[in-house]
Amino acid sequence: MAEIVDIEGEWKDFIFKMIEPEDYPKVLDHMRRVFYRDETMFKLIEYSDELADEVDLLVTAFLNQNDKMSFYAIHKESRKVAGVRITYKNTKGSERPDCPVTVPEHKRIIGFVKNFSQGVDVHEEYGVESYAEFFMTSVDPEFRRCGLVTEMYSRSLKLIKSKGYTLVESFFSSPHTRKIATKFGFTEVKRFYYIESKFENGLQRFPKATPDQFIASMVKVL
């Protein structure tokens, strides 16, 4: 097996570090300030601390899998967490972490993900027992448009390839990240428009969604 790539180190105004348990508080603080408020799906619902508490548990559960594939970037001068990449191993037949889903807005998200996931079996389609999944990618608005997202993708792909993965999948809700992923060789497997997701009573799950907003499952063969 090839030597595992070390993605830690300095790059421009940032320092990349693998996420360790002692880093969880600062990483989760970033997610609350940025991802839970700024990511497309979250912007379609109402933020609350109760929602953040539950999603924090899910993020922590994935980090606790200890796959050594998740990292963050620190801004050298301010020491602020500038970006976070959370990646985990998706194994055939495995279940996502069993975390509480009691907040109505969280139920909207989980219901949408279940709708979207139907009919998409990456393990069967590509003949793999496991693959790497880019779970969440987040960059503070203060540090965008400087190439940080692209650098995070580059380091992530080098890392998972060195660990022996032959496939990576991610769900993309942002047109910007979909564009970056395409440049890195990701191809779209499926897309699902937010306006198509409805409750059992026929009401839209995301009434604020516009017809052009969708989430795409994209994969890259390594």
pLDDT at 152: 97
Residues 222 and 207: their CA atoms lie apart, in Å, by: 38
Task: Band the pLDDT of 75: cuts 50, 70, 90.
Answer: very high
Residues 13 and 30: their CA atoms lie apart, in Å, by: 18
Computed over every residue of the chain, the mean pLDDT equals 94
pTM score, two decimals? 0.94
Task: Band the pLDDT of 4: cuts 50, 70, 90.
Answer: confident
Give the residue, 115 or 119, on which the prediction is more confident.
115
pLDDT for residue 166 is more than 70: yes
pLDDT at 167: 98
Task: Band the pLDDT of 2: cuts 50, 70, 90.
Answer: low
Phi, psi (rounded to 5 degrees) for 87? -130, 140
For residue 99, what is the enclosing H or E element?
none
pLDDT for residue 111 is more than 80: yes
Give the residue, 119 or 164, on which the prediction is more confident.
164
Taking residues 37-47, report their average pLDDT: 94
CB 103 within 8 A of CB 51: yes
pLDDT at 43: 95
Q: Which residues pair with 86 in a beta bridge?
A: 136
pLDDT at 96: 81
